[in-house]
Amino acid sequence: MFKGILINKDEQGYHAALQDIDDGVLPEGDVSVNVLYSTLNYKDGLAITGKAPVVRAFPMIPGIDLVGIVEQSNSKQFHVGDVVIQNGFGVGENHCGGLAQKARLKSEWLIPLPAAFTPKQSMIIGTAGYTAMLCVTALEKNGVLPDQGEILVTGANGGVGSFAISILAKLGYTVVASTGRMEEASYLKTLGASDIIHRDTLSNPGKPLAKERWAGVIDSVGSHTLVNACASTKYGGTVTACGLAQGMDFPASVAPFILRGITLAGIDSVMRPIADRKEAWQRLGEILKSDDFDNIAQEINLEQVIEAAGNLLNGQVRGRIVVNVQAN
């Protein structure tokens, strides 16, 4: 038996609880892991609260991220004692995830913990930081350079937004952060934002084309925010889309694409090939330093997860939540 968050759905409805879990609940996999840390992402919040049909099978242990020590392996890639990272691949949705003290996973989903990071630091980064790095890489590959102008980061106080600001600033970009919590302006400027705008300037229906401002955009919000970001992106610029905090809809015009030649790049972190993952984590190791983690995360234990999931969906969380699954 081990402790973890377990989600069930029955005639009484949908419910998540911290409980003792039998090893038999864990699905098939060739690597068993003693989990050290997990995280709370937006998708985890949806899964735990039941506010969206994220979970595909029951019972389910949520948690799309984890880092832990291999305790049993039938894989030639990983051996007992190795420290490994798991991000995505449907874990926490249709395969039991990281918000528990044990996990059983497929070896092809795992990568070794990068030498640049401690286990806790790797989960402060988690899917959020790894996704932010994928977005920055997409901007770079599409030729968006620091001297071309401002980069807009929406959902700036969230995990993706926080890491996107930090990474971009360290690479020499001028970053404008969009947030609904202007009281967090000092936090965002500490990360490297040069200017802060209120999310209301982007979140309502706008014109098909607006004044050109952004050389590039990292958007984790979707809906009208993404539409307006596209409408105000400079000729030839690139907008990366990786989230849907405002909504899944995209009520847009083709005008920015056919009149200004902008690129809308979709960023998927869940099924990303291992080679791309390793590249992203390597670059994170080169860019981020130990003091970059000081203000970006808070640590909680498993007993605090369910309450924190609700706070996350209500926009009451700044930066990242890392979960010490072994803590009392």
Give the model's pLDDT for residue 101. 98
Distance CA 276, CA 282 (A): 10
Neighbour tally for 164: CB within 10 Å: 35
What single-letter amino acid sits at 222? G
The β-bridge partners of 238 are 216, 263
The token pair at 129 is 């930081």
Q: Contact at 8 Å (CB) between 221 and 244?
A: yes
Give the model's pLDDT for residue 328. 79
Q: Contact at 8 Å (CB) between 23 and 6?
A: no
pLDDT by 10s per residue, the chain, length 328? 999 999 998 888 889 999 999 999 999 999 999 999 999 999 999 999 999 889 989 999 999 999 999 999 999 999 999 999 999 999 999 999 999 999 999 999 999 999 999 999 999 999 999 999 999 999 999 999 999 999 999 999 999 999 999 999 999 999 999 999 999 999 999 999 999 999 999 999 999 999 999 999 999 999 999 999 999 999 999 999 999 999 999 999 999 999 999 999 999 999 999 999 999 999 999 999 999 998 899 999 999 999 999 999 998 999 999 999 999 7
* Burial of 255 from C-beta contacts in 10 A (0-12 / 13-18 / 19+): middle
Neighbour tally for 24: CB within 10 Å: 5
The token pair at 137 is 């890489």
The CB-based long-range contact list for 295-299 (8 Å cut-off, 24+ gap) reads 295/187, 295/190, 295/191, 295/319, 296/124, 296/162, 296/163, 296/166, 296/191, 296/320, 297/124, 297/321, 297/322, 298/322, 299/120, 299/323, 299/324
**Model pTM score:** 0.94
Which domains can be identified in the chain, with CATH numbers?
A: 2-116+293-324 (3.90.180.10), 127-266 (3.40.50.720)
Distance CA 310, CA 321 (A): 12
Give the model's pLDDT for residue 16. 95
Give the model's pLDDT for residue 167. 98
Distance CA 262, CA 139 (A): 12
Give the model's pLDDT for residue 297. 93
Distance CA 257, CA 192 (A): 30
Helix axes 42-49, 305-313, angle to 10 degrees: 110
Q: Contact at 8 Å (CB) between 193 and 177?
A: yes
Give the model's pLDDT for residue 295. 87
Distance CA 283, CA 202 (A): 31
